[in-house]
Amino acid sequence: MKRFVPYNRTAIELAPLQTYCSALVFSPAASLVKMQFQSQRPLWMPGLPQVRDNWDTLLQTLEGHSEAVSAVAFSPDGKQLASASDDSTVRLWDAGSGKALQTLEGH
C-alpha cells in the first residue's frame, strides 16, 4: 500500500470508484495489493495489459513547477518539503502525501 496509494493518488482522488479498473490493472504483476484484490477485477475486462513485474524505485513524483527544480529542502521535522524552481516559485509540499500546500511566487 505504501507504493500503491502514492503511485495512483491522482486516479484515486479523481475517480475513486475506478480504482479497481485502473490502478489495480496497471499495478505490477507481483504487487501484493494486486494479488490481494485480483478477485475484484471487473468481469467485463477479459484481458490485462502487460505490466512490469515489480514496482520501480520511484515512490512519488511531485508535480507543479513549470521549469527545472534547482533546490529542495525538508523541514526539520521532515513533514514538509520546499522546492525552488527556475519558474520563480517556491512550492511547499506535505512530505507524506505529496500534496501541494502553498506556492510562493517571485522568489
pLDDT per position as a tens digit, 37-79: 878 777 777 777 788 888 877 777 888 899 999 999 999 999 9
Identify which has the larger pLDDT, 24 or 78.
78
Identify which has the larger pLDDT, 34 or 74.
74
Determine which helix (DSSP H) or strand (DSSP E) holds 36, and give its type and residue range: helix 32-36
Q: How far is CA 25 from the centre of its chain?
A: 16
pLDDT of residue 16: 78
pLDDT band at 107 (very low <50, low <70, confident <90, very high): low
